[in-house]
Structure 1
C-alpha cells in the first residue's frame, strides 16, 4: 500500500506479516540485546522491507542502525523512512540524487487516546478536525493528523538535524484529494540554498490503517 503514496523515483515495500526467517547483521543484533519479542519482530521485519526495496534499486544489503534521535542511518546515496504499527510494517527508499527526503508513517484507523489530541494539535487544526469528525466518514481524522505530523518530522529531521515538535507544523487535509499540506511555524531553515517553509504529502485509509507519506523530489538540474 505504501508505494501508492510515493513518487516514481521512490520504492516502497510493506507487509502485514512478520518475517521470522530474516537474518540481521551483527551490528543490528547488538541493538536488540535487551529487546522483547514484539520489538524484535518489528525491528527485523521493517528492515527486511527496506532491504527488499534496496534490491529493487540495485543497492546491496546493508545494516540499518540508529543515529541521532533514533533516526535510521541509510547507506551513502540513499534516503528513506520506515514505519510500523500493529499488523503492518513498511519502508520507502530512494536515491538521494533523485529525492531529498522521505517521511512515512502508519497508524491504526482509530481515535487517539484521551488527552493526546490537545498535546499534538494546534487550534486551527482542531477547528477543521471538528467539522470532519462530525461527518462520520469512517476516517479518524485526529489520528490522520497525528500520522501526518509524524511523517513531517521524519522528512524534516534528515534535512535539518533539528528537533521539531508537534507545534512546529500546521497541517491542513484535503479529504477528497487524499493530500495534506504542512506549513512550518518555525523560522525556515536553509536547505540546498532555499528556505524550507513546509511540505506536501499524501494519505490513504484502507484495511483498518492510516498511511501518510512525504517525498521531496529534486528539481531537474
Structure 2
C-alpha cells in the first residue's frame, strides 16, 4: 500500500457520496525513526508518547500537503482547545492518523457543511466488521461534533450498512437535526472502504440547495 493508493481511494469515496468540487488530500507515512519533539499544543502539561507526537506531526504535515494540493500556501493548521483543526476561511476538512499513516482531506465550505475522516489499521486477517463500524462512528463524530457544539462520544452514533456497496446511513440525534440550518441543511452521507491493512471512513454533509 502506498500514499497514492490512499489518495485514489479517498477521491473515489468523495465521488461516491459527494458532489463536484475541489478536493485537497494529503498523505504522510509515519516514520518511527523520525524525531519526536515536544509539541505544546499536544502535550498540555502531561506526558505524551513519542509515537503519539509523530502521528500528530505527520497529521499536520498531511494537512499542509492538502492545502498545497489545492494550490494554497503550505501553513500550519492550528486547533481549538477541543482539538478541532482550524481551517482557512472557505474550507472544511478533517485529519486522521494511525500507527503508520496520517491523512488529511479539505473541501470547499460553500459546498460541504462538514467533513469527518477516520482511518484504522486493519488486522492481518483483513476486513473486520466491528472495526469498520468503529471507523464509521469516529468519522461521524469528527464531522458532526464540532458543528453541534457538543463533544459527542462515538458510541452515541448509530450506523447501518446499506447493501454490498459499503455505504452507510447514520441515525442522527435530535440535537443535530435541530442544527440543520447551522450545518447547511444537508444530510450527512457516510462511505467506508478498505485497502490492504487500512480501513477508511468518510462523512460529508453537503449544503442544501
Which 5+ residue runs of structure 1 have no aligned equivalent?
112-136
Taking a change above 3 Å as real, the CA distance of residues 168 and 189 of structure 1, as seen in their structure-2 partners, is farther
What TM-score does the superposition give when structure 1 sets the normalisation length?
0.73
Residue 173 of structure 1, CA deviation: 1.0
Note the alpha carbon deviations across 1:64-96, whole angstroms, 9 max, x for none: 222142211222222110001111110011121
Indicate yes or no: 2:115 matched with 1:155. Answer: no
SS in structure 2 at match of 1:148:
helix
Among 98, 101, 105, the residue aligned to 1:92:
105
Cα distance in 1, alignment partners of residues 184 and 29 from structure 2? 38
- 8 Å CA contact 1:57–1:94 kept in 2: the answer is no
Q: What are structure 2's unaligned runs of at least 5 residues?
A: 1-5
Measured on the aligned residues, the alpha-carbon RMSD in Å equals: 3.1
Structure 2 contact 64–77 (Cα < 8 Å) conserved: no
Shift of the 194–208 alpha-carbon distance from structure 1 to 2, 3 Å rule, reads closer
Q: Residues 161-172 of structure 1: matches in 2 within 5 Å?
A: 161-172=149-160
Separation of aligned partners in 1, 2:196 and 2:27: 13
TM-score (norm 2): 0.77
Pick closer, same or farther for the CA change 1:157–1:163 going to 2, 3 Å.
Answer: same
**Aligned with residue 193 of structure 2, among 204, 213, 216:** 204
Match of 1:60 among 70, 73, 77: 73
**Which residue number corresponds to residue 202 of structure 2?**
213
Alignment: residue pair count: 191
Which range is displaced more, 45-54 or 1-10? 1-10
Matched, 1:192 2:170: no
User: Would the aligned equivalents of 1:181 and 1:198 in 2 still touch at CA under 8 Å?
Assistant: no
- Where do 1:110-125 residues align within 5 Å? 110=123
Query: 1:173 pairs with 161, 164, 178, which one?
Result: 161
Moved more, 10-19 or 36-45: 10-19
